[in-house]
């Protein structure tokens, strides 16, 4: 794993953007794997500023998001489909029809997972952006998720519900289930950038980089990826 430790969140976002820009400049129709959460917002701001200034174009880029809450769709501002439009897609030249995410309101969850897996099988991701949960999850693959997993519905752990409740009016409003790409879908990406900032991520970052490769720490699977870069701030790197 390549490891880049920088001073702060801003520097982390800029480092990630350098890799993003190289990928989408090199391949106009790149396939991006994108993430939600606080971590990638700075990267998305860099992409927006650059695109608005006439830099990289995303008009032929396709995007696949990692996960979505079961029961939420664009009509909820807590949904990840809403997040992606508000924080990125509505501000760059990507075509909305080229953006993909699990449908949180799908009537048949199993069919929705099969639909998403078929799409992923047909589209190799050139660059996958990831954050990491304080419990070592990537996407919503919580500790104990099989490494061979593909897109599935998960019961969110109490830890994740608590972490994510900061974005909801109350903890009771946090959905208890989510669709998520599986760990083997994520590992199929050609290149992965995982970002982490803040002291509350230090233990997870240690598990990601130095811990045993174990399903108890889902992110540890990335030690087996041929082209994975961790970009983190000093606080998140403090246990390395």
Contact call for residue 175 and ligand PGA (CB under 6 A): no
Closer CB to ligand PGA, 24 or 186, in the complex = 186
Closer CB to ligand PGA, 98 or 157, in the complex = 157
Contacting ligand PGA (CB under 6 A), which of 37, 104, 207, 218?
Answer: 37
Question: Whose CA is closest to 185, among 6, 33, 9?
Answer: 33
The catalytic residue among 65, 87, 100, 135 is 135
Contacting ligand PGA (CB under 6 A), which of 39, 65, 100, 103?
Answer: 39
Residue nearest to ligand PGA (CB): 37
- Distances in Å between the Cα of 84 and the Cα atoms of 100, 121, 138 are 10, 22, 17
Strand partners, 64: 33, 100
Contact call for residue 149 and ligand PGA (CB under 6 A): no
Please state the closest distance from residue 164 (CB atom) to ligand PGA, in A: 7
Please state the closest distance from residue 9 (CB atom) to ligand PGA, in A: 11
Residues serving a catalytic function are 67, 135, 137, 142
């Amino acid at each position: 794993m390549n490891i880049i430790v920088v001073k702060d969140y801003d520097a982390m976002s800029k480092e990630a953007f350098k890799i993003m820009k190289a990928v989408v400049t090199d391949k106009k129709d790149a396939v991006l794997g994108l993430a939600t959460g606080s971590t990638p917002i700075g990267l998305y701001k860099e992409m927006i500023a650059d695109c608005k200034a006439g830099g990289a174009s995303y008009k032929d880029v396709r995007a696949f998001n990692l996960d979505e809450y079961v029961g939420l769709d664009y009509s909820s501002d807590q949904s990840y489909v809403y997040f992606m439009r508000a924080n990125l897609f509505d501000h760059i030249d990507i075509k909305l029809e080229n953006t993909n995410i699990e449908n949180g309101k799908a009537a048949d969850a199993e069919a929705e997972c099969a639909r998403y897996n078929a799409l992923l099988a047909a589209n190799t991701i050139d660059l996958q952006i990831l954050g990491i949960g304080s419990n070592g999850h990537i996407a919503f693959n919580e500790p104990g998720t099989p490494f061979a997993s593909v897109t599935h519905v998960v019961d969110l752990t109490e830890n994740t519900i608590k972490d994510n409740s900061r974005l909801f009016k109350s903890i009771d409003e946090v959905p208890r289930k989510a669709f998520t790409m599986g760990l083997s879908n994520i590992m199929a990406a050609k290149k992965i950038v995982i970002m982490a900032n803040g002291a509350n991520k230090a233990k997870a970052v240690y598990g990601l980089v130095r811990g045993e490769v174990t399903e108890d720490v889902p992110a540890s699977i990335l030690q087996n990826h041929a082209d994975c870069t961790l970009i983190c701030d000093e606080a998140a790197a403090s246990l390395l």
